[in-house]
Structure 1
Amino acid sequence: MLLKQMKYFITVVDLHSFTEAAEQCFISQSAISQQIKALEKELGVRLFERSKRQFSLTVAGEYFYRHGKVLLDEIEDFKEETIRRGEDQELNLTIGYPKNFSTNELLETIVEFKRIYPEVNISVVSGTHEELFELLVDHRIDMKISEQRRTFNKDYYNENLKESVSFIEISTLSPLSKKEVISADDLKNISCILVVSKDREDSEREFFEKSLNLSHRFLYADSLEQARLMVASQRGYLPVDQIGHLDKPMSGIERIELSYKGNPIQRNYFACWPKDKTNYYIEEFVKMYKEALNK
């Protein structure tokens, strides 16, 4: 069975016409009919019920059309990816992740991915959620990991990674560090420390105020390490999300689950990348990272 015979058959069914299918495939109508008859002969079953100038699919034809269409799409993807790999002299994958991100699985996935695919150069970029979105739109990163803060865009794949559990990190010298669960109301008189880039403070503050109901007093840090030093020196608390394994907090800091009105605060994290720029490596990395998070 030739792939072109399968393509001819599927084109006839899609266009509901032997004549139009022949024109689209750049062959004569008699040639396309002969090819499909040869296909039926090889399979030993009829794919079409013919009556004068009309035709309908047999049960076998319905099955062959449905599964053959999927197979042809996969073959086309396979061909395009093979060509792309052959043309690319250097393969690069740039991953964006939030500034306040602190899970071991991302680093572990990068290391394992490099072991399996040494031909790929991986780089990482950290930023606020808004910065990561802008970098993705401008094609300066290939994929971003972030929580859902906006309506999904149909031009992007959004793979649900895991639902996070929200915590705060606070100095062990604070009386609140003895609590097993802490509420947003408990924190209303303490400064909230955010890891944020310069000129992005307002958008981050607004999100934490309106979406997480955290305090209206904010301090800002350039990095996670700086933020934790501020926590240890009792300047405020740091909100963090757990979507994977978190190491024990540094000495002088306690990590406590955050709640609002008696309920845990949880958020969804996604991997997001453009549909028109997708490739095998992005999809494989997302698959490996999701598996690592959900072990």
Structure 2
Amino acid sequence: MLLRQIKYFVTVVECNSFTQAAEKCFISQSAISQQIRALENDIGVELLQRENRKFYLTDAGEYFYHHGKELLSKAEKIKQETYNIGKNNKMQLKIGYLNFYDGIKLQKVIADFYKKYPQIVIQIISGNHEDLYYGLRHNEMDIVLSDQRRAFSDEYVNLHLVYGNCYIKIAKNNVLASKKFVTLEDLRFIPCILVASRQQENNEQDFYQNTLGFNTKFIFAKTLEEAQLMVIANRGFMPIELIGDKQDKSDLFSKIPLYQDGKQIRRNYCAFWRKENTNFYIEEFVRILKDFFKEV
């Protein structure tokens, strides 16, 4: 079975005509018919049911058509990527990550990746969950590193990376700063500081209030830096997630584990990318990312 034969078959189906498909493929009608017969003989089943001058897809032909298209698309991508690698063409990899996340050490992953593939230009884009989801849907980002808030979609690769432990950042002079852990009940009279654009404020509040169970007042910062200044000024607490046991110590605020039902709250962190956009460099970046999380 040759890729050329698959291409002929797909073209015949899409043109609904052997004659038009032959013209499109720049071969004779008899030649394209012979190639499809050879393809059927090789597979061992009939793909097209022929009746006079018409034809219909068999069930096997229907299956082969859809998966054959996917195979041709993947082969074309492999060809293009091989060319780019061989020519050292500059390519861009756009990576989105949560601006609220306080544990992912992208610097090391990016440094390891860039050492191996210096021809790739990496662009880092931060945002909240909805910003990242929008960017991925509209091809503004190639890979997104984010928490799982929706059911997994078949349109994307949904790769689990790690579970992040939930903490709060709170000012050192706050009465809760000396506690070994806090609960949602402890926080109900302290404002929760969230990072979100004005357009995303309602979405963020809805998630923390109705999904995670935060029962308090919410105030918003536009950037992570602004939110941390609000914490230092004792205007409220900021929920964060960390991976691993190592925590950066600060004289300005405390990081305290956040508990619910007697155990620390955890969030599922994943790498997401569109299946149709999968390429060699995305797979390599994710491989290095996975190795990093294994070390953590």
Question: TM-score scaled by structure 2?
Answer: 0.73
CA distance in 1, matches of 2:290, 2:245: 13
Aligned to 2:158: 158
CA distance in 1, matches of 2:252, 2:231: 9
Q: Secondary structure at the match of 1:289?
A: helix
CA distance in 1, matches of 2:33, 2:152: 36
What are the ranges of 5 or more consecutive residues in structure 1 without an aligned counterpart? 9-21, 37-47, 49-72
Q: Secondary structure at the match of 1:134?
A: helix
CA pair 225-247 structure 1, distance change in 2 beyond 3 A: farther
Aligned to 1:15: none
CA pair 32-123 structure 1, distance change in 2 beyond 3 A: closer
CA pair 25-226 structure 1, distance change in 2 beyond 3 A: farther
What are the ranges of 5 or more consecutive residues in structure 2 without an aligned counterpart? 7-30, 45-69
Q: CA deviation at 1:282?
A: 0.8
CA distance in 2, matches of 1:182, 1:290: 31
Cα contact 2:171–2:252 (8 A) shared by 1: yes
CA distance in 1, matches of 2:256, 2:246: 12
CA pair 140-27 structure 1, distance change in 2 beyond 3 A: closer
**Alignment of 1:93 onto 2:93:** yes
Aligned to 1:209: 209
CA distance in 2, matches of 1:159, 1:285: 13
Q: CA deviation at 1:153?
A: 1.1
Q: CA deviation at 1:256?
A: 0.7
**Alignment of 1:288 onto 2:285:** no
CA distance in 2, matches of 1:245, 1:111: 23
**Alignment of 1:83 onto 2:92:** no
Q: Secondary structure at the match of 2:141?
A: coil
Runs of 4 or more above 3 Å deviation? 22-25, 73-80, 244-247
Per-residue CA deviation, residues 178-205 of structure 1 (Å, 9 max, x unaligned), is: 1111100000000000011222111101
CA distance in 1, matches of 2:142, 2:83: 20
Per-residue CA deviation, residues 51-80 of structure 1 (Å, 9 max, x unaligned), is: xxxxxxxxxxxxxxxxxxxxxx99995774
**Alignment of 1:118 onto 2:118:** yes
The percent of aligned pairs where both chains have the same amino acid is 31
CA distance in 2, matches of 1:131, 1:108: 24
Number of aligned positions between the proteins: 242
List aligned pairs for 1:183-262, cutoff 5 A: 183-244=183-244, 247-262=247-262
CA pair 139-284 structure 1, distance change in 2 beyond 3 A: same
CA pair 32-161 structure 1, distance change in 2 beyond 3 A: closer
Q: CA deviation at 1:222?
A: 1.6
Q: CA deviation at 1:210?
A: 1.3
Q: Secondary structure at the match of 2:198?
A: coil
Query: Which residue of 35, 38, 53 maps to 1:26?
Result: 35
Aligned to 2:275: 275
Q: CA deviation at 1:246?
A: 5.7
CA pair 129-281 structure 1, distance change in 2 beyond 3 A: same
Cα contact 1:191–1:215 (8 A) shared by 2: no
Q: CA deviation at 1:233?
A: 1.0
CA pair 268-27 structure 1, distance change in 2 beyond 3 A: closer
